[in-house]
Structure 1
């Protein structure tokens, strides 16, 4: 892991720095016509200064550097085609040399990514069941808030009011509501607001891999402070445990698999009444086939962010990383819904998916 997160990024930065040296030098040549060795040294230093902060792959600056590199490479390819056909448009040549198009594309991407992160959509699904339930159930599902990254208290209050207007019977919080960057005060605010969502049968919560800030040596809050804040706002934490609703629906909340050993699903579900509608709440969309074979009716998950930055979601789907990236899937016995989350992690940008909260109607056939 040390090699992947420390050494590999530095190795990748070397060819990037070389590329941006020539990119910056080309701009200087366009402006000054001729440059001497001191200009070249300055270009090299600028390239290193520009690229070096991106050696942390999860930083905002890495997004800037990698996207500018991608846009510049695309422009290089267009220029090669341009030259191949012996075109001599001097305006196009100047535009290419000065690098204005990749830089403009970068700013457009950053603007769109910020807007797309902040623009939260309501996504609605309907799940039919043959189980004997005496009423239809409406579930509000919210995950991956990473509170403090892109949303403040007043914005969260607005979305919680919107969710309340949907008149949910049950509210599900699918983990990563807070993370390593959330302050103690922000953590308390998040659960204070979420606990105010109007509902009929309760608010239920499972931890994600970020909630307890275990990736930091000195987090802003402890796991016990987090637990206390959740529970004092009448939110029930499910850790490989279950709760029955109206003696006809069983909600099973899983401990996130990143948090260590967790109970085997088969053991967990052994004493569940299979006449009930069985809903599995698991932060990560895992064990899908197994849960399907165990006749779980519905699994709700988040974690993936739908591939927050393009082309991450596309790559993971094509290469088969993870069991499901986003959306709705009807299996032989189970329906799976994976949310892209109401916000995102690390930086306030989304280009590979949208922000959302999910409303699920469980309807008797």
Structure 2
């Protein structure tokens, strides 16, 4: 899947560079600089596009350079199409290449907004009512911090302060806290930030597919066990197919990530995890990937909190996981029977530094039950 996506990005980028080289060659200032010979104009345009891609890649990484080139390509194609329709309507060609100017300006504005949506973290609130006599519970959830991409471990402390200001009863981390590009220093600083939280029931953590690392401890300088040790050092409780009771009324079920199944390390099923639970209590599941909704509904749990999708990341592909069946939901709240599912877009991103189909967020969930 990822090989197909990355291969498509690379091919699209190469074709985009060639197309854009020809578009840049149409500007009058290029003609004045290198003359009317098409080959010189094309080569000049090619150099310009490669320089733009190189500067972007140096500043934000190769994948973000590809994202910028592809957005410029698509927007330029649209502007060229609109320009031709207008010229046909007015029966006269434009004396200047307005389509190219518009394409560049629109792309800059669009991706600047996308950068801001990825790097600024909003607050999203849900209020869930239940007939169970459990009183109330305020949950702060975040996922997909990928520490080190859009903020450092030390900068993460400012987001933790925002979460603390919500006066949560519990804070839950639903996976991809770090990834293979998170340095040990950033990981340690981020864990220390979590250690500053003060809540009624504590801070709980469930693994995502990136947390344990795909390339081994040598690549980033620490293992999954090192991460657990640092979390626990800061009073964060790591749940791996485990159930804990919060007070007298709430179960918290932390699942191993779905990637464990895919790597031949089977995780417990929802049936196994809920077999001995009292249905009168309110049950909350932490499950990084939103891909087990049927089993979770059948198990009768009350709330499932997920991440992983990054809200779909980029428009118009922001619901691709849902459309292809890779994910049961890409973003937001859904209710099936008596089970509520919340998928957050996360507070950061993996590698890509733009969000054009959603925004970064942490989630506040107010569970409101009947009085005991």
TM-score by length of 1: 0.89
- Offset from partner CA, 1:53-76 (integer Å, 9 cap, x none): 98xx97110111100001101111
Matches within 5 A, 1:77-116: 77-88=81-92, 90-91=94-95, 93-96=96-99, 99-116=100-117
Establish whether residue 238 from structure 1 lines up as the match of residue 243 from structure 2. Answer: no
Which residue matches 2:312?
Answer: 307
- In the TM superposition, residue 106 of structure 1 has moved relative to its aligned partner by 1.8
Q: Does 1:292 align with 2:297?
A: yes
Structure 1: gaps of 5 or more residues: none
Could you tell me how far apart the structure 1 residues matched to 2:39 and 2:80 are?
25
Q: Distance in 1 between matches of 2:326 and 2:311?
A: 13
**CA separation in 2, counterparts of 1:36 and 1:344?**
42
Q: What corresponds to 1:35 in structure 2?
A: 37
Mapped to 2, the partners of 1:173 and 1:244 lie a distance apart of: 17
Larger mean CA deviation between 192-201 and 317-326 belongs to 317-326
Q: 1:112 to 1:10 in 2, by over 3 A?
A: closer
Q: In structure 1, what is the Cα distance between the partners aligned to 2:15 and 2:154?
A: 44
Residue of structure 2 equivalent to 1:118 = 119
- Would the alpha carbon gap of residues 259 and 58 (structure 1) be closer, same or farther in structure 2, given more than 3 Å must change? farther
Change (3 A) 1:7 1:272: same
Post-superposition Cα deviations, 1:165-217, rounded to whole Å, max 9, x if no partner, equal 22211111111111122110100011110121110011110011111221567
2:25 touches 2:31 (CA, 8 Å); kept in 1?
A: no
- Inter-partner Cα distance in structure 2 for 1:3 and 1:235: 35
CA distance in 2, matches of 1:121, 1:6: 29
Match of 2:23 in 1: 23
In the other structure, the counterpart of 1:65 is 69
User: What residue is the counterpart of 1:250 in the other structure?
Assistant: 251
- 1:292 shift after superposition: 0.8
Distance 2:289 2:260 in 1: 12
* 1:337 alignment partner in structure 2: 342
Compute the displacement of 1:297 (Å).
Answer: 0.5
Q: 1:195 to 1:87 in 2, by over 3 A?
A: farther
**Unmatched segments (≥5 aa) in structure 2:** none
What is the aligned partner in structure 2 of residue 192 from structure 1?
192
SS of match in other structure, 1:329? strand
User: How many residues align structurally?
Assistant: 360
Residues 14/107 of structure 1: CA separation in 2 closer, same or farther (3 Å cut): closer
- The alpha-carbon deviation at position 46 of structure 1 amounts to 5.4
The DSSP-based 3-state class of the residue aligned with 1:198 is coil
Question: Could you give the per-residue CA deviations for residues 137-171 of structure 1, whole angstroms, max 9, x where no partner exists?
Answer: 11111111111111234542222222222221111
What does 1:149-298 align with in structure 2 at a 5 Å threshold? 149-215=149-215, 218-260=219-261, 261-298=266-303
Distance 1:299 1:3, change over 3 A: closer
Displacement of 1:362: 1.2
1:182 and 1:220 in contact (8 A); partners too:
no
* Deviation at residue 6 of structure 1 after TM alignment: 6.3
The two structures have a TM-score, normalised by structure 2, of 0.88
